Copies of this chain bind each other. A is one copy, B any other.
Amino acid sequence: MKKKRISITDIANALNVTPSTVSRALNGGGKVSEKKRNEILALAKELGYRPNPIAKSLLENRTNTIGLIIPEFTHHFYSRMLAGIESVTSEAGYQLLICTSNENQAQEIKSTQTLLDARVDGILATISKMNDKFEHIQEEMDSGTPLVLVDRFSEEIETPYVISDDFKGAFSAVDYLCEIGCRNILHIKGPDNLSTTFNRFMGYKEALRKHEIELKEELLLESSDTNLLEKIRFCLTNHQVDGAFTYSDYLAFEIYKVASELNIPIPEQLSVIGYADEPISTYINPTLSTVNQQPFEMGAFGANYLLNKINNPEIALEIKNLETRLVIRGSCKGLEG
């Protein structure tokens, strides 16, 4: 059984003063003599008094809690983001209430409700992949609870965002491939209807344009393609592919597989760049070049942003595009060609 914790009233009774006096002694609101103050402080310490935040919450209509909804925990990207968030919130003295959507909108809706019910002071969320309903978000915003969305963007929701600059990230990768001499650069796109998929593709296109390389439809694949491996094989065999840029690191590994099968050496004949900088990238052989999205910083930035918004509701609606970092490893030829 949870023991009854000692309360301000207990202390007050023990010393024959009123709870108000004890409260003021503890919080320094004046109106209490030095002598009484010391008595009270001493007894509070002796009894191990700890204020009850529940009571305070009820009174102040704030919980010092922020709610988090993420699609899942197991992707390295989200764990790192979570770590970034936690570092900021714990530093600021906020609690973190966590829900997951499992990329499932029904669960996302339920989580939103749960967090609103819990009276969190603000919500940090990454919307799930499958999204076609937005009423719950609208309800969230109507409630006056600050909302900051991270990682994924949706035209339908007008609220502050903290996202990674996918366009520039992809551009820097493909630009690098061009610089080292690649001319037939394969791209594997991500899932449909994600802003990230679109933006990375646009970055790819823009880099080709810059280097005056024609975009070839036959070098475009999609992660959802049935028989993706076979399509990669066809591509590598017939189109003199000398570079590849993929939506994710895992898709890059699919290219590794096919290349090894076809005895195409990486990076000598084929330079590969993935996306996300999964830790595995440094263990695979050859180590994978990739675009690091700095998820920790993203989470930290988002959390800071939200805390600001909580304490200053008039803060401007902003879409913050965070810089990425191109990480070149063994899967790419060097710059000298």
Tell me the A residues contacting B by CB distance below 8 Å: 1-5, 50-55, 57-58, 61-63, 65, 72-74, 76, 78-80, 82-83, 86, 90, 95-100, 114, 116-119, 121, 142-145, 250, 253, 260, 279-280, 283-285, 313
Contact = CB atoms under 8 A, between A and B. Distances in A.
Contacts of A82: 73
A73 B86 contact: yes
Contacts of A95: 97, 114, 118
Contacts of A98: 86, 96-98
Contacts of A65: 97
B54 A58 contact: yes
B53 A55 contact: no
Contacts of A284: 280, 283-285
A314 to B, nearest CB: 10
Contact of A280 (B51, B114, B283): B283
A73 B96 CA distance: 14
A134 to B, nearest CB: 17
Given A3-B143, A62-B2, A83 B100 contact: yes
A323 B191 CA distance: 37
A86 to B, nearest CB: 5
Given A52-B58, A95-B118, 10 more contacts: A2-B62, A5-B143, A54-B57, A54-B63, A55-B58, A72-B83, A79-B79, A90-B100, A280-B284, A284-B285
Most buried by B among A100, A253, A283: A283
A2 B83 contact: no
Contact of A116 (B50, B145, B285): B50
A54, A55, A97, A100, most chain B CB atoms within 10 A? A54
B83 A79 contact: no
Contacts of A51: 117
Contacts of A2: 61-62, 119, 121, 143-145
Given A83-B73, A284-B283, A144 B3 contact: yes
Contacts of A97: 65, 95-98
